[in-house]
Amino acid sequence: MLTAEIVAVGSELLTPFRTDTNSLWLTDRLNSAGVEVKLKTIVGDDDARLEETIRDALKRSGVVILTGGLGPTEDDITRKIAARALGRRLLLDESVLEDIKAKFLRWGRKMPEINARQAMVMEGAEVLPNPNGSAPGMYLEHEGRVVVLLPGPPREMKPMFDERVFARLVGRAGGLRVARRVMRVAGLGESAVDERIAPVYTQYKNPQTTILFNSSEIEIHLTAQGKSEAEAELLLDGLAGQIEERLGDSIFAFRGEKMEEVVGLRLAVAGFTLATAESCTGGLVAHRLTEVPGSSSYFMEGVVTYSNESKTRLLGVPAGLIESRGAVSAEVAEAMAEGVKRRAETDFGLAVTGVAGPGGGTDEKPVGLVYVALSDDAHTEHKRLMLPGDRHLIRWRASQFALDLLRRRLI
Amino acid sequence: MLTAEIVAVGSELLTPFRTDTNSLWLTDRLNSAGVEVKLKTIVGDDDARLEETIRDALKRSGVVILTGGLGPTEDDITRKIAARALGRRLLLDESVLEDIKAKFLRWGRKMPEINARQAMVMEGAEVLPNPNGSAPGMYLEHEGRVVVLLPGPPREMKPMFDERVFARLVGRAGGLRVARRVMRVAGLGESAVDERIAPVYTQYKNPQTTILFNSSEIEIHLTAQGKSEAEAELLLDGLAGQIEERLGDSIFAFRGEKMEEVVGLRLAVAGFTLATAESCTGGLVAHRLTEVPGSSSYFMEGVVTYSNESKTRLLGVPAGLIESRGAVSAEVAEAMAEGVKRRAETDFGLAVTGVAGPGGGTDEKPVGLVYVALSDDAHTEHKRLMLPGDRHLIRWRASQFALDLLRRRLI
């Protein structure tokens, strides 16, 4: 397989505040083109280290992609150092210069003198136009290797790569294509998932399977190689089908969809409406549901009843019930779900109450104890959860379980 | 300044799904110790490339930190390849082996045979115990350089570095210390911030100033070097004071606090209570407020009134007002704030209504139009916002403006 290295240039990427994320997107695109990423380097505005990095990469890899450092200032060293590492001259390209000047005119300004530097092009390199910024990119072949210089800002880098670089790499990679699929799981632990599907996925080298654990979600990533995209997709279909047989309803997404998108789609298709009543999740369930465009067609209202008094006033939960059972109880969770459904006149009422911590836990009702409840015209049910993690994670996991309870009812 | 390179080992870090985040934390700690990070490499389970990476790093940098690849499987190559690159033998350390066996016993299992590999130690290396996992780390000095091997999982890596490595690096770095501060700004654009404070911060090489733009927040990062932590902090105080003079109330955090933490602290200290009424933000304001531990002492309730009917029923907004002015209007925003304050009997009522998009916009009320309103016993005010960005960003920015409106009232 054709191999690539990605070099991200910029001192800001060597601080504790910023990481190189361009390479994630580039890796996905390179993989799709049939190119494997073997190494990534992040280097500052440091002439010697960047030159050595480029020289080393050229010795090892068929494709070297540099991002960043194409700006107009002294600190932007990628052009200069790439030319030095490749032993090529940098020449002023008059047509690029005219193009940059014209851009500044369109932006209502005269081109600052220093931007002329962005019109310097390596001998033998092809200029990659940049419709979204002033710095053009470069593409060249050097002793059998491909070298690509791309700007750092994602909105300049991505279209330039897709429009000018992707197709050529597909050609060089010899047509091997890569397809991916992300399946998401709820309601099963990581080891339970692995136990059930390892007998299946370990039989395949292609597709490759990776299980990732993110917050409370388990993701199953499948990566297949084929002579065509269709062949790769077919391989994915085969393995995904076998995994589905083993995990059933616990898979809530087959193409990387979020839980709130899956639930929202089911509600929209069926024409059902929903209202939520939250205590410990503090609005997170409503927030997630309403992140989905078009959610106003099924999400009617939510209440965040943090005080006991508000549970009674807004949801009609009897004060006596809260007193006898406690605000964190199956009975109150169910009364919250029924109350919000009745008052909002929706098809479903979904409720969460629990102890998110770090304070407020007792021996009887410790931090992490959460009740979720779901009510429709036919009946009301609840689930009792003991969730691990800190306040943030407990709240996120509770919201996930609540949405999953609704998803399973909608199946 | 003593220089370092960080090498992250693991093929999963060369997929589109995972990036090396350990290095951000390590960079912060190394900087604090007075060590500058000059290069980062991410390399897969690839013997030749890892060996070359380690050799190259040793030529250039005083400290080389490797993370990951210390597990028990064939894929975990860091021990083997580091030994090869340094020309040192790997020897079985009986006491480490006993230690690993004892750990497995405590976990209620017999040590699998392959884990014996984790007891292999490079000649001359000091073993770094790992209380949170089976793989020990290593520390050694090699031809004047420091080489450190750390496990990949953050909960194993971080304490090992802090307890066993940090102090020694401080010693080698010659006592130069680095301190940082993050100031956060609301209500001003990036160029307005830069215009006001550039005349100040450009006068200093130490502290260094970086302005970052994250979602709707502007962060000002100050980094100072001093002979002691106290000296570095004193330099930060000086520059931070001058920046505060220029930006005033627009700075809401001086130590990296979040907006909801700042608002929550002010509410708690003053003994005020709050209720929220949200339309387009869909519960995000309530969710952010209740992420803060202890928020139940001041946050009483929130309502997410997505439908017009719920604005009338839950908040008492007159149906006629919604009809005449529209749900997205200054009048309805103020009526929502007043309504939730009155019904929840709180000191403050905070409301948001707007068009988050992508659908629902009109010429008169386009996507991005948002009204926030705040009501207390004395009066009610509103702000009209035109927010750029997609649905997610518009919602986030609206929540930030709403919380900032409350923060300014509380000053």
DSSP state of A188: S
Residues of B in contact with A40 (CB under 8 A): 13-14, 41-43
Query: Per the omega criterion (within 30 degrees of 0), is the bond before B207 cis?
Result: yes
Tens of pLDDT, residue by residue, chain B (411 residues): 899 999 999 988 998 888 899 999 999 999 989 899 999 999 998 999 999 999 999 999 999 999 999 988 888 899 999 999 999 999 999 999 999 999 889 888 888 888 899 999 999 999 999 988 888 999 999 999 999 999 999 989 999 999 999 999 998 988 788 888 999 999 887 778 888 998 999 999 999 888 877 666 889 989 998 988 899 999 999 999 999 999 999 999 999 999 999 999 999 999 999 999 999 999 999 999 999 999 999 999 999 999 999 999 999 999 999 999 999 999 999 999 999 999 999 999 999 999 999 999 999 999 999 999 999 999 999 999 999 888 999 999 999 999 999 999 999
Kindly identify which residue of chain B lies nearest to residue A223, measuring between CA atoms: B15
Nearest CB among A20, A42, A283 relative to B283 is that of A283
* Alpha-carbon dihedral angle through residues B232, B236, B237, B242, given to the nearest 10 degrees: 150
- Cα separation of the two ends of chain B: 43
Q: Number of residue pairs across A and B with CB atoms under 8 Å?
A: 211
Task: Look at residue B44 in the predicted model and tell me its pLDDT.
Answer: 92
Element (H, E) at A384: strand A380-386
Please report the pLDDT score of residue B213 as a whole number. 75
Q: Which residues contact A389 (CB under 8 A, 6 or more apart)?
A: A368, A397
Q: For tokens 């956060």, what's the residue?
A: B184
- According to the model, what pLDDT value does residue B330 have? 98
Entry field: residues in chain A: 411
Strand ranges of the sheet holding A274-278, from the earlier edge strand across to the other edge? A380-386, A369-375, A348-354, A274-278, A299-305, B299-305, B274-278, B348-354, B369-375, B380-386
Distance (Å) of CA B105 to CA A114, B58, B65, B347: 66, 39, 31, 57
A111 secondary structure, DSSP code: P
Residues 6 or more apart from A12 whose CB is under 8 A from it?
Answer: A18, B210
Identify whether the C-beta of residue B298 lies closer than 8 Å to the C-beta of residue B268.
Answer: yes
A284 with B285: Cβ contact below 8 A: no
Top residue of A28, A212, A290 to mutate, by most chain B CBs within 10 Å, is: A290
Q: What is the mean pLDDT of chain A?
A: 94
Closest Cβ–Cβ partner in A31, A296, A306 for B306: A296
Q: What is the pLDDT along chain A (411 residues), one digit of tens a residue?
A: 899 999 999 988 998 888 899 999 999 999 989 899 999 999 998 999 999 999 999 999 999 999 999 988 888 899 999 999 999 999 999 999 999 999 889 888 888 888 899 999 999 999 999 988 888 999 999 999 999 999 999 989 999 999 999 999 998 988 788 888 999 999 887 778 888 998 999 999 999 888 877 666 889 989 998 988 899 999 999 999 999 999 999 999 999 999 999 999 999 999 999 999 999 999 999 999 999 999 999 999 999 999 999 999 999 999 999 999 999 999 999 999 999 999 999 999 999 999 999 999 999 999 999 999 999 999 999 999 999 888 999 999 999 999 999 999 999
Residue A198 contacts by C-beta under 8 Å, 6 or more apart in sequence? none
Sign of CA dihedral A117, A122, A124, A130: negative
Disruptive mutation site among B287, B390, B399 for chain A (greatest number of A CBs within 10 Å): B287
Contacting residues for A334 by C-beta, under 8 A, at least 6 apart: A351, A373, A375, A380, A381, A382
* pLDDT tens digits, one per residue of A283-322: 999 999 999 999 999 999 999 999 999 999 999 999 999 9
- Residue (of B17, B29, B60, B335) closest to B160 by Cα position: B29
pLDDT at B351: 98
The closest CB to that of A304, out of B286, B293, B391, belongs to: B286
Taking contacts as CB-CB distances below 8 angstroms, the residues of chain A near B309 are 300
And the tokens for A4?
């690539």
Chain B residues with CB under 8 Å of A305 CB are 301
Full-model pTM: 0.85
Nearest CA in chain B to A310: B301
Looking at beta carbons, which residues of chain A come within 8 Å of B56?
52, 56
What pLDDT is stored for residue A215 in this prediction? 66
Q: How far is B401 from B89, CA to CA, in rounded Å?
A: 61
Q: Under an 8 A CB cutoff, do A49 and B28 touch?
A: no
Interaxial angle between packed helices B391-410 and B259-270, expressed in degrees from 0 to 180 and rounded to the nearest 10: 30
Distance (Å) of CA A366 to CA A355, A386, B293, B350: 7, 9, 15, 32
Phi-psi region of A10 (alpha: psi -120 to 50; beta: other; left: phi over 0): left
Q: Within 10 A of A52 (CB to CB), how many other CB atoms are there? A: 19
User: For residue B215, what pLDDT is reported?
Assistant: 66
Residue in A49, A307, A313 closest to B39 by CB: A49
Q: Is A282's CB within 8 Å of B286's CB?
A: yes
Q: Which domains does chain B have, with CATH numbers?
A: 2-172 (3.40.980.10), 177-253 (3.30.70.2860), 259-410 (3.90.950.20)
How far is residue A167's CA from residue A173's CA, in Å, rounded to a whole number?
A: 10
> Is the ipTM of this structure higher than 0.90?
no
